[in-house]
């Protein structure tokens, strides 16, 4: 009998990452789930919470300490996975962040905010993906997922037919500086657009190796991303992060295999 599939989820201790871990952990399919977390303590807290919530799961949970802004941390994490498992079946590049509010609050300069956003969302993801690829290629059913955003679509910047798009794409009144209430998430949006191209490159690079690759746009979810607060986001129409976790699990379990190399949402293929 084949062993359990080994699944790594970066940023798996919170938000959409945590909900993805939970969805997989509660699945009837057994997995070895590796929770990638910058903090061992927060990762262990997530494990304890999940084990209490689903005590009869056939899957296993463990924590891998990894900070995507540190090459040394990534190298150590990959070495741990190699030593303990010898392969990786699914890599879910979920860890990311937005630094635009830090910029708006004056806590980061423009350069600092943009560098932080691209370093975490794109560069760190590229380093990790490159280093785990030899382990993925040992799998007979390798899957590589990049968690992107509905704000990453260039075509979407021309949409005004939905309240969320209307809010994101509205042009502020003339004058400078712009009102602070204007939604500006430029570093985050541009980094996630870059992540989409990163996905396309990995799809091309590993197509003949049989690696299945997607970018996942899980929808407008009430997470802690951006420091706005989950309750505020819910008032703006955001769904529970659990919805995103279930969708990502569905992709892992083969329900969107016809859409490889694309940005997939729960009910759509997101336009570029």
Question: Which residue from 231, 215, 233, 199 is spatially nearest to 269, judged by alpha carbons?
Answer: 215
Q: Annotated catalytic, 192?
A: yes
Q: Compute the distance between CA of residue 164 and CA of residue 178 in angstroms, rounded to an integer.
A: 20
- Pair 58, 34: CB distance under 8 Å: no
Looking at residue 85, its pLDDT comes to 98
Architecture, CATH, for domain 5-151+187-264: 3-Layer(aba) Sandwich (3.40)
Looking at residue 56, its pLDDT comes to 94
Residues 6+ apart with CB under 8 A from 138: 86, 87, 88
pLDDT, block means (10 residues), the chain with 272 residues: 87 95 97 98 97 96 98 98 98 96 92 97 98 98 96 92 84 85 81 98 98 89 54 55 89 97 94 95
Question: Is the pTM of the predicted complex or chain greater than 0.75?
Answer: yes
Q: Helix, strand or coil for residue 73?
A: helix
Q: Annotated catalytic, 37?
A: no
**Which position among 37, 73, 98, 149 bears the catalytic label?**
149
Looking at residue 1, its pLDDT comes to 42
**Which position among 189, 192, 212, 262 bears the catalytic label?**
192
Q: Helix, strand or coil for residue 264?
A: strand
Q: Annotated catalytic, 87?
A: no
Looking at residue 185, its pLDDT comes to 87
């Amino acid at each position: 009998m084949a062993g359990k599939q080994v699944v790594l989820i970066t940023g798996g201790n919170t938000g959409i990452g945590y909900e993805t871990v939970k969805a997989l952990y509660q699945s009837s399919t057994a997995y070895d789930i590796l929770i990638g977390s910058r903090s061992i303590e927060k990762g262990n807290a997530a494990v304890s919470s999940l084990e209490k919530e689903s005590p009869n799961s056939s899957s296993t949970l463990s924590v891998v300490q990894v900070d995507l802004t540190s090459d040394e941390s990534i190298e150590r994490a990959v070495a741990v996975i190699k030593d303990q498992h010898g392969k990786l079946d699914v890599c879910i590049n979920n860890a990311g962040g937005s630094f635009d509010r830090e910029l708006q609050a004056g806590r980061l300069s423009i350069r600092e905010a943009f560098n932080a956003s691209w370093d975490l969302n794109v560069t760190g993801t590229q380093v990790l993906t490159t280093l785990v690829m030899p382990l993925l290629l040992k799998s007979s059913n390798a899957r590589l997922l990049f968690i992107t955003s509905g704000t990453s679509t260039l075509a979407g910047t021309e949409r005004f037919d939905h309240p969320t798009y209307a809010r994101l794409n509205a042009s502020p009144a003339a004058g400078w500086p712009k009102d602070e209430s204007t939604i500006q998430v430029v570093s985050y949006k541009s980094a996630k657009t870059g992540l989409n191209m990163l996905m396309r490159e990995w799809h091309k690079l590993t197509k003949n190796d049989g690696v299945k690759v997607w970018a996942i746009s899980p929808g407008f979810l009430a997470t802690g991303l951006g420091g706005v607060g989950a309750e505020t986001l819910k008032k703006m129409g955001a769904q529970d992060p659990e919805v995103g976790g279930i969708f990502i699990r569905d992709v892992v379990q083969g329900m969107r295999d016809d859409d490889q190399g694309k940005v997939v949402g729960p009910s759509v293929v997101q336009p570029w």
